[in-house]
Amino acid sequence: MPEYVDPERRPPLVEELDRLLPETLARFSTLGLRATFFVLGEVAERLPGRVREVAEAGHEVACHGRLHLRADDRPVARFRADVERARATLEQIIGRAVVGFRAPEWSLRNLANPRLRVIAELGFAYDSSLMASPGAGSRANPRQPAALTWQHGARILELPPLVWGGRLGLPAGGWCARCAPPSWLRRAAQGSSFALLVVHPWELVDRPLPGLYTGFARFFHEAGRRGWGARLEGVLADLELRPLAEIAAEARAGGSALPETEPASAAPGTPLAASLVRHG
C-alpha cells in the first residue's frame, strides 16, 4: 500500500508499535522464546527506546531496510544507500553489530537479483529474503539454509522462510499461515531440519489496525487474524526457537556444506548455491 509506505503520502496514524513491541516482548518472555526482529530504519528513528528494549530482552535486531519499499522499485545504488543508512541507525541504537537482512515483501525475489550481492558486499552474515513460493519469490529459491558465493569472493548465508503445502509452496507467514490449521504448520516445521516462521506484531492482537483497508489489502491484513496469537503459540509449543544470528554463526563455525554447484539456469552474476546440513 504505497500511500502508507511512503512517508510523504502517509496519513496521520496511531503509533501502534509503541505498544505492540512491549506486548510482543512480554508474550515471548512468558513463552520463553527468543527471536529475530527485522526492524525498519524509520521505525528505529521514531522509536529508538523500543528497539533498544528488543535487544536488551535477548532478541536479535536485524535490518529490514529504511522504508518498507520493494527492493526492485529503486536503482541498485539507491537500495545500497538505504540499507547502509538503516543498519547504521540500528547499530547506533543497540550498540552492537547488525548481521542479518530481509528485504520488505521478500522483494529480492530470486538468486539473480543484483541487490542480493549488495547485501553480501556490505558484510551481512545472512540474508532471509528469498521465499521458495510463487508470487513472493520462486520455486527455484532454496528451501533450506544455503551458502551463496559470487566471483571475487562475496559470500552470504541464505536463511529462507519455511514454506508448506508441497509444490504449492505456501509461506509459513502472513495470511497463508493465519488461515491454515495450526497442525499443518506444526507438521511442516517438525518435518524440516530448519524452519523459519514469520509473524508481525500486529498479527498477534485482535484489535483493529490503524488506517483504512479495502479490497485485497483488507483481505491480506485481516484474513485469519482473529485468535492467531493463541493459535501460533500452539504451533510453537516445544519447538527450539533461536535468533537467526546464532544459527548463522554456527554455520560459519562448523556447518557441514554440500559441494557448491551452479544452477543450470543461472544468469550472469547469479551466485553459486550450496545447501547446508544443520545438525542438532
Segment 38-83, tens digit of pLDDT: 999 999 999 999 999 999 999 999 999 999 999 998 999 999 999 9
When mean pLDDT is compared across 33-42, 86-95, 165-174, 175-184, the lowest value belongs to 165-174
Predicted model pTM = 0.92
pLDDT band at 255 (very low <50, low <70, confident <90, very high): low
In the chain the beta strands, taken as DSSP E runs, fall at 36-39, 60-63, 100-101, 126-127, 146-149, 155-158, 163-164, 170-171, 256-257, 272-277
Question: How high is the pLDDT of residue 257?
Answer: 45
- Residue 50: what residue type? R
User: Which residues fall within 8 angstroms of residue 158, CB to CB, at 6 or more apart?
Assistant: 126, 127, 128, 130, 142, 145, 146, 147, 148, 273
Q: Which CATH number fits domain 2-161+196-205+241-254+269-275: 3.20.20.370, 1.10.645.10, 3.40.50.300, 3.40.50.2000?
A: 3.20.20.370
Question: What is the pairing mode between strands 272-277 and 60-63?
Answer: unpaired
Segments making up each domain of the chain, as ranges: 2-161+196-205+241-254+269-275
Question: How high is the pLDDT of residue 9?
Answer: 87
Which residues in 38-65 are b (16+ Cβ under 10 Å) and which e? bbbbbbbeebeebbeebbebebbbbbbb
CA proximity to 41, closest of 82, 94, 9, 75: 82
Q: Does the structure show a pLDDT above 90 at 94? A: yes
Burial degree of 267 (CB within 10 A; 0-12, 13-18, 19+): exposed
Share of the chain above pLDDT 70, in %: 92
Q: Where are the alpha helices (DSSP H) in 12-75?
A: 17-31, 41-46, 48-56
pLDDT band at 253 (very low <50, low <70, confident <90, very high): confident
Question: What is the pairing mode between strands 36-39 and 60-63?
Answer: parallel
